[in-house]
Every structure is written in C-alpha cells, then in structure tokens.
Amino acid sequence: MTNSRAAFSSSLANAARSGIRLAALALVAALAVAAAIAQSQAAHAAAPRPGASQPAKPGAAKTSKPAPSKPAGPAVTWSVSPATATNFDAKRNFYDYSAKPGVTLSDHVAVTNYSSRPIAFHVYAADGTTDYKTAKFTLISGKKTSKDLGSWVSVEGGPSNCPAGQTGAKLTACLAKLGTTVTVQPKTAVIIPFRVAVPKNASPGDHAAGIVAAYTEKGNGTTAVAVEQRVGARVYLRVAGKLAPSLRASGAVIGFHGGMNPFGGGSASVGFDLTDSGNTRLSAGTTVKVTGPFGIPVTTLTAPPVENLLPGGVAHVQLSVPKGVPRLFLLFGGITVKAQHADGNATGDVLPGSTKASAMTWAVPWVWLLIALVVAAGVVGALWWRRRSREQLAVALHQYVLQVQADAARGELVAHAGEQEPQR
C-alpha cells in the first residue's frame, strides 16, 4: 500500500515539473518577442535620416561644385500662337481642323519675340504625342523625323519631312532644313504661312502635331554643347471616316508602405496605364476605391483628369494615400475610368463606356501577427500540457489501482497460507 502511494505521488510530481518547465519556456518566448520589438523600435528611432549633409545611400555623396555662370546676354523669351494673314487670332488657342483625305489647308502662325535683341528661330512642324509620365501633350524629339501630321505640314513652303531610312549626319542635316528660319526683331512678331496637305490614304480619326519655333543657344568655349529650346502651338486634325473611340486601363498595381510605427498604419499608392486604343482624342476621369478583405472600405481617390489623350497614346496615372491606411492583411484597388470629351471638334463625340481594372497587395500587420502567433502557441501549449497532465494522472491512477489490487491479492494469499499452516 505504501509503494502504491509513493508511485502515485511520484507521477504527480513528474506532471507538475513538466507543467512548470512548459510555463517557463512560454515566459522566456514572450520576453524574447518583447525584447525584439523594443530593439526594432529603438533601431528605427536611432537610425539617422538622410539630410543635406548626409548621403541617403553609401557612395552617393559627390564633390560639391559651384553652378556654372549663366551665359552672357539677355534672356530669350518667345511664343507661338495661331494667327490670321495680318494679325494675331485671339479666338484660337490651338489649331483644330476637320478635312477629307486629299485636301490641302492653309493657315498662319505668329512667332513673337519678347526679348531685347533679334533672335533667329527655326520654325517647323513635328508629330504630337502623349508624355507617358505627365499625360500631357508633347512633341517628338527634335532629332527624329515626323511620320504623321507633322510630315503633312509645310511651313512657308519648306520641306515637311526627311526621306525614310536616313540616319546620322544626313538625318541631322535634313532636320535642320525643315520648314523655315526667320529672324524676329525684339518686341515684335512675325506671321508665317503654312499648309497642311492631307494624304489621300490618311487614316480616319484624329491626328496631332505642333508648329515649333526652336531657338538654339550656343554655349561658351570650344567644348560647350548647344542647347535647343522649343515652343510650339498644338495642331489637331480629324480626317473624315469611321470613328472608333476606345479607352483601355492596364498594368494596374497597388502598393502598401508601412510606417516606422509597427502598430500604426501606412501609406498606399495606386498606378495604371491608360491607353487611347481608338482613333479619336479622349479625356478621362479616374476614381479608385481602396478596400480591405470582404469589401472593408478604406478610402476613395479621384485622379486629376487626363486631357486630350491622343490615339495610340499611353499615359501613366498615379494616385496615393499619404497616411492612415490600416494594415488589413490585403488591400484591393478598384479602378474605374470614365471617358470625357476632349477639346475642340471632339466635344460632340459619342463616348465609349467606362473601363475598369483592379490590383491587390499585402498589408500584413507583422507585429500583431507575431503577437497572435505567440498567444496561439501559448494556448496550444497550455492545452497540450493539460492533456498530457491528464494522461499522466490517468496512468498514475491506473498504476495505483493495479498496485492496490496486487497488494490486496498478496495479502489474501498470506492470510490464506496462515490459515492452512495449523492443519499440517
């Protein structure tokens, strides 16, 4: 009987020691997590931010040099605007034509010199395009030859394009002879005629170009590089035929950027490419709804409108939420682009339907996730310890019962043997 009690007591002591060890391990793990979080926050707080006297990246510092002095001579300022044959045309801010294939149009452009000295300008036409980053109207490089509307415009009877296949020095010489060169006296303007000859095989829809007045500023010294500056007036031409307006949103991305506070929110950015996939100019308004899992609303963004997107043009639209975006594990960006009328002859166009796109990104609350994992591990450990303790207790009780039964059986045998001994 004494042995049974001793065995039972020993089993209970083993179970207690196991529970104490498990509790100690859980406490050590929790303290380690807390120390890691505190160390991370201290490291973020202590890390120096890039400043004026400290490079943001290793090796980014460069020797500071004074800015070169401005070339001698007065500043050059000029403008290019629509005109009539005898004066400025205040009714037009840009050129906007409609014509059939094979038609030739005639018009005038005014180049005004606001400077205090005579300036020689190279006046010619160049194809229009859409700047990818700003979504604004721009022109092809002055080192390229036009292939669309810019090649149909002859300024003061001069050449409008260069032969296909020309490269290098030949192309540079040809581009320098396009259009005409005119010297404009200070505080005066010169009106220059031009013609637009629409090819017979011109594709229907909108075409774009610009009439440019370029001024080349020569640097000082033998090694200085000449810099060409251009100012132009927009030219839109709609060729008669079937119109097919269309917009497409693609390449949508959404990004989450956590702040230094691991318990706080962060910022988010949404971007996508907007393509005019039809043959008419279009403007567009964009709305982005940022949501979390199960449609949890976060914020709604409205982008500045994209104006006069040219056929075939691609503009990158970028929106951002500077702060306050919660860490919801997942963030979704729902993009809706609604077509709007472009300027000029496009104001009466039939608009295409809205186009949509979407994107997803992770916004994981790592600190809370780590805390949840530690708590879950503690709960699982506690349940495991409780189950193991119960199993150990059951085993001890079973062994105790067996020991008691064995002791009782041995007692009966001894008693029975004592009773039979006198009969011998």
The pLDDT value recorded for residue 423 is: 52
pLDDT in tens, 237-250: 999 999 999 999 99
Query: DSSP class of residue 373?
Result: H
Smallest CA-to-CA distance from 11 within 401, 421, 417, 419 is with 401
Q: What is the pLDDT of residue 69?
A: 44
Spatial CB neighbours of 199, under 8 Å, sequence gap ≥ 6 = 101, 102, 152
Please give the order of strands across the beta sheet that includes 78-83: 78-83, 104-113, 188-197, 153-155
CA distance 286 to 401: 79
So what's the pLDDT on residue 106? 97
DSSP line for 333-353: EEEEEEEE--SGGGGGPPPPP
Kindly report the pTM of this predicted structure: 0.71
Q: Which residues on adjacent β-strands are paired with residue 189?
A: 112
**For residue 388, which phi and psi values (nearest 5 degrees)?**
-65, -40
Q: What is the pLDDT of residue 145?
A: 93
Model pLDDT, residue 53: 34
207 vs 279: CA distance, rounded Å? 8
CA–CA dist 184, 115 (Å, integer): 10
So what's the pLDDT on residue 220?
Answer: 65
* Residues of the chain with confidence (pLDDT) below 70: 1-74, 219-226, 259-260, 262, 366-372, 416-424
Which pLDDT score is estimated for 59? Answer: 35
pLDDT confidence of residue 417: 67
